């Protein structure tokens, strides 16, 4: 496993989490947002004080896979990260349901495949982390999301196996947490995590990547 010092979080609003996009500064709380990426970064920085880690967040609210593709050179490849974590997929169906996008499950999988392949080709030694897109059945989430959302999750899981990447099972985690009957406690609108939800995400992400980070 290569030595990991430069870490990049990528995705949509869940990763963005209100970060200051004007600063784009590694390890700065404002630049990392107020969500799981910042919480995971804080854990990594506390656990590895001698590693000189540089943690970046380039999540952008509203992004779909095509949006990542369009900005991938500047917001990923040029940063030369040792580890890239990607959480993407909820807008690919949400915008479709709102009539703002016409992407298909097959298209989502093809685009995700291209993105992962492009990353591996440009950064052969990179450690890739793919996060399971997730929703909780409350707020904006109703029956119209299914079964297509689960089909998109399955597509992401297939690509994780194709590229043999680390997989963070967020949906499984939230399903277990929601068994208490209060899914809104973890994500008020069913999509965007609460503070408690973000903390659980950060904990899960750190668990999955712990071996890779051990060097």
Asked whether 155 and 112 are in contact (CB, 8 A), the reply is: yes
β-strand partners of 129? 85, 166
* CA dihedral of 175, 176, 180, 182, whole degrees rounded to 10: -30
CA distances from 130 to 11, 20, 30, 104 (A): 10, 24, 24, 20
Among candidate residues 13, 31, 132, 198, the one labeled active-site is 13
- Is 50 annotated in the active site? no
Burial code of 17-29, b = ≥16 C-beta within 10 A, e = fewer?
bebeeeeeebbbe
Distance CA 202, CA 197 (A): 9
- Is 13 annotated in the active site? yes
Among candidate residues 56, 92, 192, 198, the one labeled active-site is 192
- Is 150 annotated in the active site? no
Enzyme catalytic residues: 13, 189, 192
């Amino acid at each position: 496993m290569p030595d990991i010092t430069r870490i990049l979080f990528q995705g949509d609003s869940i990763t963005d989490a209100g970060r200051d996009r004007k600063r784009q500064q590694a390890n700065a709380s404002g630049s990392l947002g107020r969500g799981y990426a910042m919480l995971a970064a804080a854990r990594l920085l506390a656990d590895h004080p001698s590693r000189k880690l540089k943690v970046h967040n380039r999540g952008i609210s509203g992004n779909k896979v095509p949006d990542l593709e369009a900005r991938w050179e500047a917001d990923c490849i040029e940063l030369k990260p040792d580890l890239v974590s990607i959480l993407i997929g909820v807008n690919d169906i949400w915008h479709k349901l709102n009539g703002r996008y016409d992407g298909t499950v097959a298209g989502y999988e093809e685009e995700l495949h291209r993105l992962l392949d492009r990353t591996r080709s440009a950064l052969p030694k990179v450690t890739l982390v793919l996060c399971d897109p997730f929703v909780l059945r409350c707020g904006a989430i109703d029956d119209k999301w299914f079964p297509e959302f689960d089909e998109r999750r399955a597509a992401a899981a297939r690509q994780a196996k194709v590229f043999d990447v680390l997989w963070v099972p967020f949906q499984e985690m939230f399903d277990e947490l929601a068994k208490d009957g209060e899914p809104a406690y973890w994500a008020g609108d069913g999509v965007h995590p609460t503070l408690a939800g973000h903390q659980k995400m950060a904990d899960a992400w750190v668990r999955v990547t712990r071996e890779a980070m051990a060097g």
